Amino acid sequence: MVTWRNKAYLHDWVPQFVCCVCGESNTVAAHVGGNGTKGMSCKVPDYQTAPLCQTCHDRLDGRALPPLDQAERERVFWGMVECAGQFIADRLDSEVKRRRKFGQRKPGSRASQSPRLKMGERRRREG
């Protein structure tokens, strides 16, 4: 199985957000494991990360007490969803702006079809 990795997402994007448990502004990307997918040499995909301060990250991974309770774990989950969702929205927005700048059309529109396809269509209609 190929796991999605993106250093820019981990080191630049996720740390922009505040800790989703305590609100601390100095955060790191914490991989949120689920259903036994996290362990030694088994890291989850990078999109399954949440912004956590170092203390909350240690509590999530079991290196510090007290461990996160159920409500805090839910905040971690929704922090992960928000971070990934905004990343996707930002990338889509960038792609739309890039296409508008260079005048590219949607795939499948008549203007984006190659001349060879148009000629082929004409030949079939005429023949």
pLDDT in tens, 22-45: 999 999 999 887 655 556 667 788
CA angle, residues 68, 6, 1, in degrees to nearest 5: 85
Quote the Cα angle for 63-81-46, to 5°: 60
Q: Express each pLDDT in 44-100 by its tens digit.
A: 888 899 999 999 999 998 899 999 999 999 999 999 999 999 999 999 999 888 888
119: left (phi over 0), alpha (psi -120 to 50) or beta: alpha
The residue that leads in pLDDT, 126 or 2, is 2
Identify whether the C-beta of residue 18 lies closer than 8 Å to the C-beta of residue 40. Answer: no
pTM of the full structure = 0.68
Question: pLDDT tens-digit profile of 90-122?
Answer: 999 998 888 888 776 655 555 544 444 444 444
